Amino acid sequence: MSLTAHIPSHRKPRRSASKVALRAGVAGGVLSTLGVAGAAGPANAEPVTATIEMPTLTADLANTVAVSAEATQQVAHAYDLQAQQDEAAAKAAKAAKKDKAEAERKAEAEAKRKAEEAAKKKAAQEAAEKAAAEERASRSSERTTLSASASVGSSDSSSSSTATGSAAAVVAFARAQVGDAYVMGSTGPNSWDCSGLVQAAYRQAGIDLPRVSGAQSSLGTSVSVDSLQPGDILYWGSRSNSYHVAVYVGDGKYVGAQNPSTGVVERSLSYDMPTGAVRVL
């Protein structure tokens, strides 16, 4: 065995041909470039030692991007807010239109209802007026017939219980009002108070009496209740200061406007005996 067999070699490992060629090529290129530069430049030019640094834009670019993103977000928020406002305005306009239509419908219905009520009220009023006119015409016809009958029959009787002459007209008118209402201060034609009825009855005989009972009882000749004749004026209270009057119609009866509960009635003297009587006819 050789003495140098186990001694490691100190030689560098052999490089591959490709790597050597590559290095040679690069070196050659560099040297060529330096040679050209040296030939082109002045002989005494100093070697360039300054380095050119590219500006650092990282911080500014980040700020710009951040500002742009914020602006974009603000614009998006503004568009979203405008969309919400537009939607709310559209809903409000729709609701207002609906409310207006409902109000117009209700107003139309109310106007129609009022028109119908007015028409019904007018029809009822016309019907009432027509009925009242027919009733007045019927009463007038009845009074005329009674008055004529009393006038004709009065000439054929001399009894103190039967009205004659002008008294017949007074009695016929008074009896024709039986059933009418009593209203204080009323003088007809469908409601009376006591003196209003007596005054109207005597007007049928062409005699104008005072309006109130006290003045009516002060006229003519005073007669006793036992000597009454049809057409005499009965009074309650004292003469010239009476509080109620009526017309004696014969056969122990009188016709008078008594009170609001009874109206005009024909009653017996015994029902409410009068204080006295006066004879005007």
- pLDDT tens, position by position, 174-215: 999 999 999 999 999 999 999 999 999 999 999 999 999 999
Q: How far is CA 82 from CA 68, 78, 92, 95, 211, in A?
A: 21, 6, 15, 20, 88
pTM metric for this prediction: 0.45
Collect all residues with Cβ–Cβ distance below 8 Å to 216 and sequence separation of at least 6.
Answer: 195, 198, 199, 209, 210, 233, 235, 242, 245, 278
For the four alpha carbons of 256, 259, 260 and 262, in that order, the dihedral sign comes to negative
Write the CATH number of the domain with boundaries 77-281: 3.90.1720.10
> Whose structure tokens read 């009855």?
201
Per-residue pLDDT averaged across 227-231, rounded? 96
Lowest mean pLDDT, pick from 29-43, 68-82, 90-104, 111-125: 29-43
- Residues sharing a CB contact under 8 Å with residue 269, sequence separation 6 or more, in sequence order: 225, 252, 253, 254
Spans of all domains in the chain: 77-281
The C-alpha atoms of residue 222 and residue 276 are separated, in whole angstroms, by 8
Mean pLDDT of 14-18: 53
